[in-house]
A = this chain, B = another copy of it.
Amino acid sequence: MSKKVFIEGAISPQFVADSIAKHQSKTNIGAHNIFLGQVREDEAEGKKVTAIEFSCYETMAEKKIAEIREDAFAKFDLICMHIYHSIGIVEVGQLCIFVFVSTAHRPQVYDATEYIVNRIKKEVPLFGKEHFGEEGFQWKRNA
């Protein structure tokens, strides 16, 4: 698991397409499930989010993602899984997280994706500053 998880700026739809294409030679895969998080134009006190600026505690984040990865492979019958998260500015409408799970058969693929996304939100030290254009910012916090 020396793979690159953190991506500078938004994750492009093209990056998602390239990841899918790379799995077409794995002919034991029957089902893929992809979760994508998109920056929403949330409102707070009449101001609209224009972007989120992500930062992370990289050594801890990589360790946590390695643990999540290991646990997911132990818990579910997966062929492949990949996690990508943006660092830096991601504008409204752009993608900031991409979780990609592949299995032989479909039943476990949804639960595995949900499990991985929930653990990332809860355990990985990522920080997000919501920008309100010219009207300041606030720090995002996962519930």
Residues in A lying within 8 Å of B, measured CB to CB: 13-14, 16-18, 20-21, 23-41, 92-95, 104, 106, 109-111, 113-114, 117
Complex Cα spacing A20 to B31, Å:
19
Q: Which secondary structure dominates chain A's binding surface?
A: mixed
6 A-B residue contacts at CB 8 Å? A13-B16, A17-B17, A24-B95, A33-B34, A40-B104, A106-B117
Taken together, the copies of this chain in the complex come to 2
Chain B's closest residue to A105 (CB) is B40
- Does the CB pair A38–B29 fall under 8 Å? yes
A43 to chain B minimum Cβ distance, whole angstroms, is 11
- Does the CB pair B20–A16 fall under 8 Å? yes
Chain B's closest residue to A111 (CB) is B110
- Does the CB pair B32–A35 fall under 8 Å? yes
Chain B's closest residue to A18 (CB) is B13
A16 touches which of B16, B37, B38, B40 (Cβ 8 Å): B16
Complex Cα spacing A106 to B21, Å:
25
- Does the CB pair B13–A27 fall under 8 Å? no
